[in-house]
Amino acid sequence: MEQSPIMQNKLELSRNANDIQGLDTLRRAAQSGDKEALVEAAKQFEGIFLQMMLKSMRKAQDVLSDENNPFNSEQVKFYRDMHDQQLANDLAANGSVGLADIIVKQLGQLDDGYTPASVIRNDGNLSSINRHKIKSTVQAQDTILGPVGPAYKASGFASPQAFLEHLFPAAQKAAEQIGLDPKALLAQAAVETGWGKYMIHSGKGQNTHNLFGIKADKNWQGEKALVDSIEFDQGVAITAKSPFRAYQNFNEALQDYVNFVQNSPRYEQALKQSEQTEQYFNALQQAGYATDPDYAKKVMSVFNGDIINAFKP
């Protein structure tokens, strides 16, 4: 459908650097799916490009100019920049560079020789390189950590009550070694595993008994399982594959947690505050135990919750 002369004139007015109403007309036309609005927007983008080029050229010229020359005053430069802006728009409207035509063909999907922008990959067509990088990373990880099978998370307990009843005796013995309330230890395990509903299982279906999300670093000599985990990078949640420690039973997992915090200098301050549950978990988080910025709050929420408080050993 051909555009009316009135609408065409309104779109052309948007090229005027000082015509705000014309720009608003262009915006509304683009929202309505008007193809002519795409053409006009492409021309304006080309105009911006040309304006930036002229601005860079003017800056280079200003370096060599005479500061005392009246033609180099700020007032003259102000009107000069306005002239350059309008000149850039006019050059773009005349198709002097051809950038606008390329943009229209790319975004408008009008020609067979151009790939629509909607199907262009975000990785800049470097997917093969990315795949090679991922493969190299996995190979390097296997070299350091040893091969690990695909793991998954599955339920290990029927209910929170079953979780507490089964783990409390061993948690009490482990917690005594660091002066921590055993219920606080179970609250942390509950946060890590969702009350045992999301226990890490190996590819063979065996429960790793990992209650505290402790990862298998290069110093870990025991069994391990590779599983997707949620990490926080500068407050943003991301999914990453990480190797986690695997234990023969929950008693071993609880004892390894105690050894883990006792043998790491970074948790020294946390252990000094183990008798104050909230201070302990705050210090644990600050020392880098977890990347979740709300980790300590989540543990304390469970510790002060109805399920823990209602539990009678």
Rounded Cα distance, 15 and 249, in Å:
73
Is 201:225 a contact under the CB 8 Å cutoff? Answer: yes
Q: Is 52 exposed, middle or buried (0-12, 13-18, 19+ CB in 10 A)?
A: exposed
DSSP states of 112-130 as a string? TTS--GGGS-TTTT-HHHH
Hey, is 225 helix, strand or coil? strand
Rounded Cα distance, 137 and 279, in Å:
38
CA of 269: how far to CAs of 172, 181, 281, 283, in Å?
Answer: 22, 17, 11, 7
* One-letter amino acid for residue 242 of the chain: S
DSSP states of 16-50 as a string? STT-HHHHHHHHHHHHTT-HHHHHHHHHHHHHHHH
Residue-wise burial string across 16-32, b where 16 or more C-beta atoms lie within 10 A, e elsewhere: ebeeeebeebbeebbee
Sign of CA dihedral 126, 227, 277, 302: positive
Concerning whether 256 is annotated as a catalytic residue, the answer is yes
Catalytic residue from among 231, 268, 275, 294: 231
Rounded Cα distance, 159 and 93, in Å:
70
Q: At what angle do helices 160-176 and 182-193 cross, to 10 degrees?
A: 130
List residues with catalytic annotation.
231, 256
